[in-house]
Amino acid sequence: MSTAARLPLPRARHGCGRSEEEPAQTGTNCLVDTYGRVHDDLRISVTDRCNFRCVYCLDEEAEFLPRGELLTYDEIVRIASVARRMGVRTVRLTGGEPLQRRGIVELVERLAALGFSDLAMTTNGVGFARLAGALGRAGLRRVNISCDSLRPERFACIRRRGQMGPVLEAMDAAEAAGLEPVKVNVVLMAGVNDDEIEDFAAFARTTKRIVRFIEFMPLDAQSLWDRSRVLLADDMVALLSREICPLEDIPDPDPRAPATEYRFSDGIGRVGFIASVSHPFCLNCNRLRLTSDGMLRYCLFAIEEADVKTLLRNGASDAEIEKVIRGNVHEKWLGHEINSAKFVPPPRPMYSIGG
Ligand code: 5AD
Ligand code: SF4
């Protein structure tokens, strides 16, 4: 099978992107970088804290930021409202684990009031079942729940804390609250859980949840990452097509989405692949990140960041915040160099950046 054809390198889009719900922005205020990429998606990390210690993310002795270092909700909402006026249309809340931050429902409500066309969350699922209804009523639209094994013992081993049950309950509760389709994030690592790929595909087919396989990225706190541990998306597509049912590419209404989605050709079930390592999707990137300590990052792998928190705490005007956001986007590189000998991992691991 020609796998290159299955996961094509996306081509850069110029001009403001479109969502189905909001017409393209054509104003001069749009956040465009020097390569013509429009930035209309903001990932907000609300805390670096997490109740799990997933092997591919955190280390056992992780130390988290003191509370005073975190942006307050007022500060987050202020930055989000400036970003909204600059054409940002979609927001995803991340962590660490976003549910570890108290009052998250209130934050969702305040962000929803700013009129984003999509408001989503990535969570490890613990505690989500209890909050799903309130989050949905507050304006959350969608949720991605991480789950790297369907075997309880192995799940506990990978997460190093916590159990699988509450995570499965979170998926049910999300559906009951109308946060559909639920996407399940799976990081497969060679020799750890790669033998579960078919089980996850079967899970996607029986539950109608979209399982998204994320290639293991060099963003773990323990520097365990090694190319030999990465399961490549092309190989996963080939394996599932061979062993389960041929996969057909689903054209994405937004070509800038990081996951390439497929359906099984018998019409039952969908899976996605986030091929950050084997097929970087930088040319179409529309994402900007805000860390929980108030740093703007134009890329997961960025080395440099822009400090908005200090600016805010020194009484900056909206115009000054806007200038910093625009400056950060302006500095954005063409893409990370993960596949080059020059690659330097970012100084922060995943939990401290936000997924
Ligand atoms: N590589 C790939 N994915 C990762 N995640 C956390 N660390 C890594 C890593 N090193 C995933 C989590 C979560 C999402 C935010 O990112 O599993 O689903
Ligand atoms: Fe926590 Fe998510 Fe990192 Fe796992 S991947 S340790 S759940 S932040």
Q: Domain residues of the chain, as ranges?
A: 41-353
Ligand 2 centroid to residue 157 C-alpha, Å? 13
Starting at the earlier edge strand, list the strands of the sheet with 210-215. 247-249, 260-264, 270-274, 210-215, 183-188, 142-146, 118-123, 90-94, 41-45, 287-290, 295-297, 306-307
pLDDT (tens digit per residue) in 284-293: 899 999 999 9
* First-last CA distance in the chain: 31
Task: Report residue 39: phi and psi, to 5°.
Answer: -105, 110
The yes or no reply on domain 41-353 and CATH 3.20.20.70 is yes
Other beta carbons within 10 Å of 66 = 8
Helix axes 233-243, 197-207, angle to 10 degrees: 70
41 or 28: whose pLDDT is higher?
41
Ligand 2 centroid to residue 28 C-alpha, Å? 38
Ligand 2 centroid to residue 25 C-alpha, Å? 35
Mean pLDDT, the chain, rounded, equals 90
pLDDT (tens digit per residue) in 190-229: 999 999 999 999 999 999 999 999 999 998 888 889 999 9
- String of DSSP letters for 201-261: HHHHHHH--EEEEEEP-S--TT----GGGBPPHHHHHHHHHHHT--EEE---SSTT-SSEE
74 or 350: whose pLDDT is higher?
74
Tokens of 344: 């330097």
3 state DSSP class of 302: coil
183 CB near ligand 2 (under 6 Å): no
**Whole-prediction pTM:** 0.91
3 or 265: whose pLDDT is higher?
265
pLDDT (tens digit per residue) in 236-286: 999 999 999 999 999 877 778 888 999 999 999 999 999 989 988 888 899
Instruction: Give the start-end residues of each E strand in 25-129.
Output: 41-45, 90-94, 118-123
Other beta carbons within 10 Å of 198 = 12
pLDDT (tens digit per residue) in 80-127: 999 999 999 999 999 999 999 999 999 999 999 999 999 999 999 999
Q: Which residues have CB under 6 Å of ligand 1?
A: 56-57, 94, 122, 146, 185, 187, 214, 216-217, 219-220, 350, 355
44 has which bridge partners?
A: 93, 290
Ligand 1 centroid to residue 220 C-alpha, Å? 8
Handedness of CA 145, 150, 152, 157 (dihedral sign): negative
Ligand 1 centroid to residue 187 C-alpha, Å? 7
49 CB near ligand 2 (under 6 Å): no
**What's the farthest any 2 CA atoms get from each other in the chain?**
59
Instruction: Give the start-end residues of each E strand in the chain.
Output: 41-45, 90-94, 118-123, 142-146, 183-188, 210-215, 247-249, 260-264, 270-274, 287-290, 295-297, 306-307
> Which residues are CB-neighbours of 101 under 8 A, at least 6 positions away?
46, 47, 49, 70, 95, 107
Asked if residue 117 lies in contact with residue 160, where contact means CB atoms within 8 angstroms, the answer is no
Using the atom order of ligand 1, give the atom closest to the CA of residue 354.
15
Write down how long the chain is: 355
CA-to-CA separations, 317 to 79, 167, 322, in angstroms, rounded: 11, 42, 9
Rounded mean pLDDT, 150-177: 96
Other beta carbons within 10 Å of 241 = 18
